[in-house]
Each structure stands twice: as C-alpha cells, then as structure tokens.
Amino acid sequence: MTRVFEDRADAGRALARALEGRRAAADTIVLALPRGGVPVAFEVAQALGLPLDVLVVRKLGLPWQPELAMGAIASGGAVVMNEDVLRMADPGERAIEQVKRQEQAELVRREKQYRGARPPLDMHGRTGILVDDGLATGATMEAAVRALKALGARHVVVAVPVASPDARDRIAAVADEVVCLATPMLFSAVGQWYRDFGQTSDAEVSDLLAKACG
C-alpha cells in the first residue's frame, strides 16, 4: 500500500466506496467505535444512506504501559483478553480487575455522553457495520464484534481503512465479514497511514452524531 489518507473523513469516503453495495440496506446500521472511528463512520453512513450510532469499547491497558492492550470491554458486557500480553506481562488478577473497573466507569460515562437519552441498541436480526479508523492489534474490535453478537446481531461486518495483517486475520476469525482497504506488511501504528491523525474530541463525536440523527 502506498496511499496515505488525508484524514479520517477522507478514509471514510474511500471506505464508503468499498461498501457501495450496501446502500440503504434494510435493517443495517453503521456503528462507530469512538472516538476515532466516528468521523470515518459518519462519511460511510452519509454516503450509504444508513443510520449511524456508536458502540463504546474501552481498551484494557497494562497499568504501567496503558497503550499496550491486555484486553478490551464493550457495551453489552463483552470482555476480550489478550492472552499473549497477559502471559508476557503477568499483571496479576488484582491489577486486571482494577483496570476493568476504571474502564467500565469510563465506558458508562461515554455511553451517556454520546448516546444521551436514546434507548439501548436493538440489534436483534439486524446487520451491524462496525467502523474504526484502523486496526493495530484488533483487541478492541474483537470486543465490539462479540458485543454485537451478544446483542443479537444477525450479521456483523467490520469495515476499516487499514489494518495490520495479524489484526485483520484476528477479526476475520470472529466477524462474519471484513472489509479492509489495505493490510500493509510494514505496520507500526494506525496513524502512520494518515497525514492528519489528530485526536478526535468528545465535542466532535457529539456533533457528528447529532448531524447524522438530524
């Protein structure tokens, strides 16, 4: 892969073209993983004429290295642990439970902030298109896939602009379908495939969701 996306909106428009066959599909909803997945998913939903919502997922980082995911949790109670990281780091059960409690509290806060008074997601018999700005390890997205299936989704599609080969394979094993524009072999971080990879704010997430609902 030689293409670098200008920003998340550019990546979303490219992803929408790959998903063109799902335009206005009945019982299909685009679900963004906040925060970075929301600008991508907004473009997908707008282009395809599909509703947009969020599925909140929180990475469980090692206490001394928060960027390294030992697992993830998602709305609906899904928990996914990275056994390789746990074996390597051996954080201990007490540390794992402490991180889970902290991230669960943040998950609840973000659900209230982003979804407001909207009712819980009703995924029974529906197709969910899970969108993020990219996959590095795939732990967070795996938790999202498992959460959607636990909520009764009929079909789960994961759609991302870019992913590491290992992450794509990991998600292909749990999702019904994966749409990924590129899986570069030399992959160190999602941000290397974007010219502008600035942090997405809570305000931007709320604004895009309000526009989508409007």
71 pLDDT more than 90: no
Q: Is the peptide bond before 35 cis (omega within 30 degrees of 0)?
A: yes
Provide the residue ranges of all domains of the chain, joining segments of one domain with +.
8-213
Strands (E), 42-183: 52-54, 57-62, 65-74, 78-81, 127-131, 155-162, 177-182
Domain 8-213 has CATH 3.20.20.70: no
Least confident residue range of 29-33, 56-60, 154-158, 170-174: 56-60
The per-residue pLDDT for range 110-149, each reduced to its tens digit, is: 888 888 877 778 899 999 999 999 999 888 898 899 889 9
**Mean pLDDT taken over the chain:** 91
The fraction of the chain above a pLDDT of 90, given in percent, is 67
Contact 4, 194 (CB under 8 A): yes
Provide the whole-model pTM: 0.87
DSSP 183-200: --SS-S-GGGGBS--PPP
Give the pair of three-digit tokens for residue 174. Answer: 């749990």
Residue 5: what residue type? F
Give counts: helices (H), strands (E), the chain: 7, 8
Q: How large is the average pLDDT for residues 200-210?
A: 92
How far is the C-alpha of 198 from the C-alpha of 210, rounded, in Å?
Answer: 21
Burial label for 67, CB within 10 Å (0-12, 13-18, 19+), is exposed
The per-residue pLDDT for range 140-189, each reduced to its tens digit, is: 898 899 889 988 999 999 999 999 999 999 999 999 999 999 999 989 89
Contact 18, 181 (CB under 8 A): yes
- Maximum mean pLDDT: which of 26-35, 82-91, 115-124: 26-35
* Range 149-155, long-range pairs (CB < 8 A, 24+ positions): 150/76, 150/77, 150/78, 151/76, 151/121, 151/123, 151/124, 152/123, 152/124, 152/125, 152/126, 153/123, 153/124, 153/126, 153/127, 153/128, 154/27, 154/124, 154/125, 154/126, 154/127, 155/127, 155/128
The sign of the CA dihedral 21, 27, 33, 35 is positive
For residue 179, the model assigns a pLDDT of 98
Token pair 């969701």 is found at: 209
How far is the C-alpha of 52 from the C-alpha of 210, rounded, in Å?
Answer: 10
